[in-house]
């Protein structure tokens, strides 16, 4: 692959936002952290919920599990809202 092709491919990847999303595998995150500091958008998180029984829930009430860097899944409803712990990592819903 020529250098210009590599640069173009990297630019395309960065412009789609895929390169900006990051999370630590096996860690759980509330939507506010994923949106504020991990490069995800609310639309990204709503897409994760599509086709699940949580599709119509507010993303603020969902605990997301990072399955791979930049990929979240396994959404879990937090009935009293998702609250982040003091340190990043795996946690459960409050209440």
pLDDT, tens digit (0-9, with 9 covering 90-100), for 16-47: 444 589 999 999 999 999 999 999 999 999 99
For residue 47, report the phi and psi dihedrals to the nearest 5 degrees.
Answer: -65, -35
Does some domain include residue 89?
yes
Which residue is associated with the tokens 């412009």?
Answer: 15
Give the pLDDT band of residue 9 (cuts 50, 70, 90).
very low
Q: Are 77 and 85 in contact (CB under 8 A)?
A: no
Instruction: Name the domain count of the chain.
Output: 1
**Burial level of 20, CB count in 10 A (0-12/13-18/19+)?**
middle
- Comparing 94 with 2, the larger pLDDT belongs to 94
Which residue range(s) make up the domain with 28? 21-95
The pLDDT score that the predictor gives to residue 89 is: 78
Residue 55: its pLDDT value, please? 96
In a domain, 8, yes or no: no
């Amino acid at each position: 692959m020529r250098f210009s092709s590599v640069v173009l491919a990297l630019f395309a990847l960065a412009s789609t936002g895929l390169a900006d999303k990051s999370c630590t595998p096996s860690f759980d995150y509330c939507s506010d952290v994923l949106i504020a500091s991990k490069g995800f958008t609310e639309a990204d998180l709503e897409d994760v919920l599509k086709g699940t029984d949580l599709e119509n829930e507010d993303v603020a009430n969902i605990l997301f599990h990072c399955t791979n860097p930049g990929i979240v899944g396994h959404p879990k409803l937090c009935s009293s809202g998702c609250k982040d712990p003091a340190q990043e990592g795996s946690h459960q819903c409050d209440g």
